[in-house]
Amino acid sequence: MLSLSDTEEILAILLAVAIIMGFVFSTYKEIQSTVAEEKAKLKEKKETEAKVKTLIQYLDAKKELIDAVNEAQKKSEDSKN
């Protein structure tokens, strides 16, 4: 069996702790990054939904206007005949 001196054991423990801390830190950063990406996606989705709702309202208003113009034209043609 390999026998280590006290200094080597302390150094090995410190190295192991440093590796574990590095792993924890990198995992924490990945989680933060993932959460930030998901928040950005959610914000973009909400903005897109708002734009779509606005577009639908615009198209509905345009359709109503076109229908009103068509009806007015029909009445105008009927009154001429």
Segment among 1-15, 18-32, 50-64 with least mean pLDDT? 1-15
Distance, in Å, from the CA atom of 18 to the CA atom of 2, rounded to the nearest integer, reads 22
The pLDDT, as a whole number, for residue 1 is 55
Q: Who has greater pLDDT, 4 or 48?
A: 48
How far apart CA 42 and CA 49 sit, in angstroms, is: 10
Distance CA 34, CA 24 (A): 15
Residue 43 has pLDDT above 90, yes or no: yes
CA distance 64 to 68: 6
Q: Which of 42, 43, 65, 61 is nearest to 53 (CA)?
A: 61
Q: Whole-model pTM?
A: 0.60
Give the pLDDT band (50/70/90) at residue 78: confident
